[in-house]
Amino acid sequence: MSKLFNKLKAGLEDAIAHKQGKLNLRSETIVLPEPPVSYKAKEIKKIRERNQYSQGVFAKVLNVSIKTVQSWESGVRAPSHAALRLLEIIDKGIYHPEVYKRNP
């Protein structure tokens, strides 16, 4: 028999034993964060300006294109949930990368 089959069989046997009260399974409680705040176009622009980022630098910080930042700020598009979380941690000051110009 394959390793996968043996693991599946063992898991099912444990589930049956647990159901019959013969086995206590370990469990953990995980506290999940609240969903990210939904930012409007003007709020996104304020976050960027407050941190003194150009649209290009802000795009690099968020790992998106400049066009994406422009479309968020103009209200054409809305950020994804992942992008909203990044905006939130920048807005709250949790993540504030320092941006320096490099000499050529």
Cα-based angle 40, 44, 49 (whole degrees, multiple of 5): 145
CA distances from 74 to 25, 47, 80, 93, 101 (A): 52, 14, 16, 24, 27
* Amino acid identity for residue 67 in this structure: K
Q: Architecture of 32-104 per CATH?
A: Orthogonal Bundle (1.10)
Q: What is the pLDDT of residues 21-72, one digit of tens each?
A: 999 888 889 999 999 999 999 999 999 999 999 999 999 999 999 999 999 9
Domains of the chain by residue range:
1-29, 32-104
pTM for this entry:
0.69
Tokens, residue 93 = 């000051």
